[in-house]
Amino acid sequence: MTALFEHSPWIEARADALASCGDRHADLMAVVHAATAEEKLALIRAHPELAGKAAIDRTLTEASAAEQASAGLDRLTEAEYAQFHTLNAAYRERFGFPFIICVRLTDKTGILAAMEARLAQTRETEIATAIAQIGEIVRLRLRDLGLEDAR
């Protein structure tokens, strides 16, 4: 089965141990929102950089590889790859975690624009944005599994 959250099975396990509200996505995100600050950072840090080392050496999860490919990140020019590398490094240096965006809802031009714009945000805003984007990623993964309606 596809992992809904990158290298973070604790979220599904905790959700399974609680009474369900009848909406799997809401149940999962309630666990994320109730997590400690350290757990939220660990969840964010479990995600790979876009067009980063894991994509190059093919160690992405199957879901991440397909998602990055859907946005064309597996077909970057040398200049685009360099731009992603520079922005990934600047973002990680500023915030201490990788840039997270639901790549299936945009394209490489939109991703690059978002990376540049979000570098100006506060760390707290970026943590909240990353969690929201992870929620969108999970919503689409649930939909792919037939467990959630598309919204």
Catalytic site residue 33?
Answer: no
Task: Choose the catalytic residue: 7, 25, 47, 85.
Answer: 47
| Vertex 110 angle, CA 109 and 115, to 5° | 100
Measure the CA–CA gap between 141 and 138, rounded to whole angstroms. 5
HSE-up of residue 33 (Cα within 13 Å, Cβ side): 10
Torsion of CA 24, 133, 49, 41, to 10 degrees: -80
- Residues assigned a catalytic role: 47
